[in-house]
Structure 1
Amino acid sequence: MKNEAILSSDKMFTSFRFNSHNIRFRTSPRLERYTKVIEWDKGYLVVMAKYEGHEEEEGI
């Protein structure tokens, strides 16, 4: 699908895929899931995330 981006996490790594690009980076081992994409612009990705041991979501 054109113009579809996928953000996923697996253990200590996050993967961001868009078109033919796949960017992987390290994340906290306490990351449970990404809950919302706030902004994606000019190379920055702002998301809300849920971490193990924290009741509230955090913006990262």
Structure 2
Amino acid sequence: MTTIVTVRHGETTWNREGRLQGWAPVPLTGYCSITEFEFDHETDAVRVVRENDTGHC
């Protein structure tokens, strides 16, 4: 069996400033990318199916 997972990576204002984050509600800049992964349950293999640097979302 194979599972496909799509992940949206959003940039925060703190990313742009080079600050540590993860504990505060920081606004997104509107820049993002989307990555699609395929996971094979039989072999535990993970591979990137598609990457899309969308720019502004």
Is TM-score (shorter-chain normalized) higher than 0.5? no
Taking structure 2 as the reference length, what is the TM-score of the superposition? 0.27
Kindly indicate which of the two structures has a greater share of residues assigned to helix: 2
Q: Which has the larger radius of gyration?
A: 2
Q: TM-score, normalised by structure 1?
A: 0.27
Q: Which has the higher contact order (CA 8 A, sep 6+)?
A: 2
